[in-house]
Amino acid sequence: MISKGITEINYDTLEYMANSPFRRFFVSQGAGFIHRIEMVSSGYYFNNPRGIKFDVFYHMYNTNITGSSPTFFMGDLYVKYNIFVSFLVFIFISVVISYLSRFTYLMVSNKKLFVYWNVYVSLYIISMAEITIPSSLRVGLALVNILIVYYLSRVKVK
C-alpha cells in the first residue's frame, strides 16, 4: 500500500485492499486480453521495448501516463504468434496442472497442506506470468520451490 502512496489505514484503505485483487483479476486482466485481440485484429504494430502490456495500456486509456495492462500469458502468446499456438499452450498447461494435482494428491498425505499451498501458489505464478525473462525466472523459482518443499515434506526428523 505504501508503494501506492497510501500511508494510513481507514475505511477507504481497507475497502481498496479488499476490492483491488478482484478488480485486477476479473476486470483489468480480462479487458487487457480483449484489447490484445482487438489490437491484433486491427493490425496494430506492437513496438514498446518494455513489453506488450505497456502498448495495451496506452491503447486502453489513450494517455501518456506510464502504466501497464497485464493479462495472463495466453494474451501475449496470441499477440506474438496466433490463436492456435495459444490454444495448444493452454491445453499443455491444463495437462501439466492436472498431472501435478494428481501427483500431489497421491504422494502427499492430508496432514501436509503446506505442500498443496505451495503447488497452488506456484501454478498461479506460472499461469499469470507473461513471457519475459523476469517472469521466466519467477516461474523457475516457483518450480524449484515446489521441489524443495516436496523434498522437505518427505524428510523424517528423529
Q: Where are the domains of the chain?
A: 1-71, 83-158
Mean pLDDT estimate for the chain: 76
**Cα separation, 88 vs 53, whole angstroms:** 22
Are 40 and 79 a contacting pair, CB within 8 Å?
A: yes
Q: What is the pLDDT of residue 59?
A: 83
Cβ density class 8-21: b for 16+ within 10 Å, e for less:
eeeeeeeeeeeeee
Q: What is the pLDDT of residue 111?
A: 59
Give the 3-state DSSP-derived string for the chain, with helices as H, strands as E and coil as C: CHHHCCCCCCHHHHHHHHHHHHHHHHHHHHHHHHHHHHHHHCCCCCCCCCCHHHHHHHHHHCCCCCCCCCCCHHHHHHHHCCHHHHHHHHHHHHHHHHHHHHHHHHHCCCCCHHHHHHHHHHHHHHHHCCCCHHHHHHHHHHHHHHHHHHHHHHCCCC
Q: What is the pLDDT of residue 2?
A: 59
List all residues 6 or more positions away from 98 whose beta carbon is below 8 Å from its beta carbon.
none
pLDDT < 70 stretches in the chain: 1-6, 70, 72-73, 103-116, 122-123, 125-132
Render pLDDT for 121-151 as a digit per residue (tens, 0 to 9).
766 766 666 666 777 787 788 778 878 887 8
